[in-house]
Structure 1
């Protein structure tokens, strides 16, 4: 019964998200419904002290990133930078290669350390302009961005700074560069499979005479008479964000050594500084601010008349996207505390093969919680000792456990209730009904590549 309660809550939330209902409303309803059926007296305390705490924790950490990312993306749009880059790319590789171009831009940004949520805001104006000029259906944009930002650069490529590649290091004593050859194999399989699928979808739409689409929402609004910039100038803010993110990540620990405090006259006692747990967030925020300043330096006269309205629209979109994702975060926290979830975790421990068991456990829990990092953290916290013992008995290096865990976290995490998926659809102005099928196809390709990598390791022994 406990398991069916968890499954029902998850199914309800997935259905509600797919049907277009607000996740901000449905996530607490689904979570509290599950608690009501499990322990009725715990509903109020769990809502206030678990769901809302987790939701607020997410907003505390990531709301500034959402806001700055949305403003950055809006300025990229209003300045005309997006149009300049799109025209240059189309002239270089042709309008038919728009899908490949967007995937590569997303990949470069995420591998450079830019948060995938920021990538969605920053790349969407480019993608919309390029797909419009290439007469490619807008409904394919979410699947394209998902392939470039949510899959191989997030989890498979060795050295990627995304959190999904960092979490396993604390459990297996590994580094972000673990199992580089297996990571490259997995990345190549996901990239090639995803591109083949999306190009097949584009070709089918073209054969049916389908264009970009009409009656669409959240369309980028670049005036027709906007100034044209040299592509390198237009590309500069994206490069600045990636480079600044790297350098701020190195500098912030030097500025705020462990144990530091801040003293202000109005504080009753010194404020401790938790720089170690905030480096990535602070670095991204500083990088985005640097990118925004860069855009304004080159295009202030162009965007000045639209800056007030544009920033209001950006903030509205960022608030909706961040609250959607925060509600998902709260839902995952409640579900992970239920006895039905523990039954799932215990059942997954019984899988005999350590790599297959790890892959299934991580991707299953990431799917249930709707979070790649959350599902992986729960799975490894509960089962890493079991995986390590099995791997040692089979002579499997810890690096392989690391890479399989990271890649598996980016598999079934992108179910309809996933926060990043909801953010992506909200930003692009599309619905689950219009675009989720393509996102799910990319999810299946990414998940299949994990098990292909396991087979490659067993067949060849490469790491």
Structure 2
């Protein structure tokens, strides 16, 4: 009955989440359903298991949600994201429209701009560029997704994406874990996705298929105001789309160096803090009870990203103060944009914690750990399955590591596997099947681009799922042969 309860609870959560119900309501309800089937105390699981684990997630990662959303909103309102995207598209031109959209998305998201901010800026520019190049409109979502939601989220060393931060407290790693493997995986995702999209462009030209479609109007604004999309999007990534229209956008774009400098600051400060500054300081006091009895290995990665985003935000405000006419409103909108996503993902974590506490979960754990291929393959399956079920890379990854992270660390130590390798495999694994049709980012991207699953989802599958799986397989093979590098 306990295992049946877990299945019923997951089905309840997935079905109603797909229909647009709030995760804030569904996650505790699903947790109580699972607990009821196991005849476990419901109120104790709600307040002591669900809420304590959700609160622990917020305590660890809310600073990154807050600073990431704030930085992204200010980059948007200052015109910096638009300036970078316009520079890329004008430099590469219509003849390289697909590459221009991919690189523009990669540049801003690797520099710390929230995914949904990038969607709303890139989509209208991509539409104009694809129209000028007469490339089918149906390829726009896949091009944007390749640049924003694949290698810059899970593979490129140092990415400030929340998914890259989640394994750090569990494995004692940094944002730059396994940099060589991350670069190889990034090259595979980018190269494979670009090859596919260019192939589709060439096939369309041979068939005489052009841009197609009428004027889409302001599809982005309509998507931002859609409550159905909002509820699903906030559990998928770290920015509430409803806040896109709040604040005030500048009417004059900054020079490209001003627009790009904060992105470089994020990467540089993150690198310096993670590899030089924090390791050189004495943090022995963190072992004291009043600091939670922790260590710099457990918190240093989150500190590095937080300091990088805070520093870049300050640089951004200084450089663009005159281009932020409603600075307080923009900052309020950025802060507000972080709350619902953080609470939604924390609720998924609370649900996973309740499930992991149930006696029947021992069967699930033993099954996952018994999968052939070793620790890395088992970890891959766990993160893939949970990200797919929840429609959230961050939620699925946290649930998997909360339940099995300690076990994987123990097994890895016994087998001589470096924690950096666990980090990179788990992050890339969470960024594969999370892009199933019910994923909030996929739904939002299609809406912003004025497209549908029928028109564009096949190409998203190829560039976001198939390409990521090929890269993940390569990382597992290379990591098994040569270790972490």
TM-score grouping bracket, smaller chain normalisation:
0.7 to 0.9
Deviates more, 1:85-94 or 1:190-199: 190-199
Output the CA distance in 2 between the equivalents of 1:313 and 1:145.
24
Confirm or deny: 8 A CA contact 1:164 1:373 kept in the other structure: yes
Confirm or deny: 8 A CA contact 1:103 1:147 kept in the other structure: yes
Alignment of 1:170-319 (within 5 A): 176-177=177-178, 180=180, 186-196=185-195, 207-209=211-213, 214-215=218-219, 216-218=222-224, 226-249=251-274, 250-252=276-278, 254=280, 257-259=283-285, 276=296, 277-304=298-325, 306-319=326-339
Shift of 1:297: 1.8
1:109 and 1:227, CA in 2 relative to 1: closer, same or farther beyond 3 A?
closer
Shift of 1:335: 2.0
Output the CA distance in 1 between the equivalents of 2:359 and 2:468.
27
Output the CA distance in 2 between the equivalents of 1:201 and 1:211.
23
1:9 and 1:101, CA in 2 relative to 1: closer, same or farther beyond 3 A?
farther
1:185 and 1:242, CA in 2 relative to 1: closer, same or farther beyond 3 A?
closer
Which residue in the other structure is 1:339 paired with?
359
Output the CA distance in 2 between the equivalents of 1:86 and 1:4.
49
Shift of 1:217: 3.4
Confirm or deny: 8 A CA contact 1:362 1:408 kept in the other structure: yes
Output the CA distance in 2 between the equivalents of 1:201 and 1:222.
39
Which residue in the other structure is 2:70 paired with?
71
Alignment of 1:50-449 (within 5 A): 50-95=49-94, 97=96, 100-101=99-100, 103-104=102-103, 107=106, 119-120=114-115, 123-124=118-119, 126-128=121-123, 130-134=125-129, 147-148=146-147, 151-153=150-152, 155-156=154-155, 162-163=164-165, 176-177=177-178, 180=180, 186-196=185-195, 207-209=211-213, 214-215=218-219, 216-218=222-224, 226-249=251-274, 250-252=276-278, 254=280, 257-259=283-285, 276=296, 277-304=298-325, 306-354=326-374, 356-365=377-386, 367=388, 370-376=395-401, 378-382=403-407, 404=425, 407-413=428-434, 422=440, 437=457, 444-446=465-467, 448-449=469-470
Shift of 1:45: 0.4
Output the CA distance in 1 between the equivalents of 2:333 and 2:152.
30
Output the CA distance in 1 between the equivalents of 2:437 and 2:425.
23
Output the CA distance in 2 between the equivalents of 1:399 and 1:59.
24
Which residue in the other structure is 2:9 paired with?
9
1:225 and 1:388, CA in 2 relative to 1: closer, same or farther beyond 3 A?
closer
Output the CA distance in 2 between the equivalents of 1:416 and 1:311.
32
Shift of 1:17: 2.2
* Unmatched runs of 5 consecutive residues or more in structure 2: 225-243
Confirm or deny: 8 A CA contact 2:428 2:472 kept in the other structure: no
Output the CA distance in 1 between the equivalents of 2:157 and 2:151.
10
Confirm or deny: 8 A CA contact 1:58 1:326 kept in the other structure: yes
Output the CA distance in 1 between the equivalents of 2:258 and 2:27.
43
1:347 and 1:290, CA in 2 relative to 1: closer, same or farther beyond 3 A?
closer
**CA displacement 1:207-258 (0-9 Å, x = unmatched):** 4426655342335689897223221111111111221222333434555521
Confirm or deny: 8 A CA contact 2:168 2:301 kept in the other structure: no
Confirm or deny: 8 A CA contact 1:138 1:212 kept in the other structure: no
Shift of 1:26: 1.1
1:109 and 1:278, CA in 2 relative to 1: closer, same or farther beyond 3 A?
farther
Using the size of structure 1 for normalisation, the TM-score is: 0.74
Confirm or deny: 8 A CA contact 2:120 2:448 kept in the other structure: no
Using the size of structure 2 for normalisation, the TM-score is: 0.71
Output the CA distance in 1 between the equivalents of 2:354 and 2:96.
43
Number of matched pairs = 437
Output the CA distance in 2 between the equivalents of 1:126 and 1:16.
30
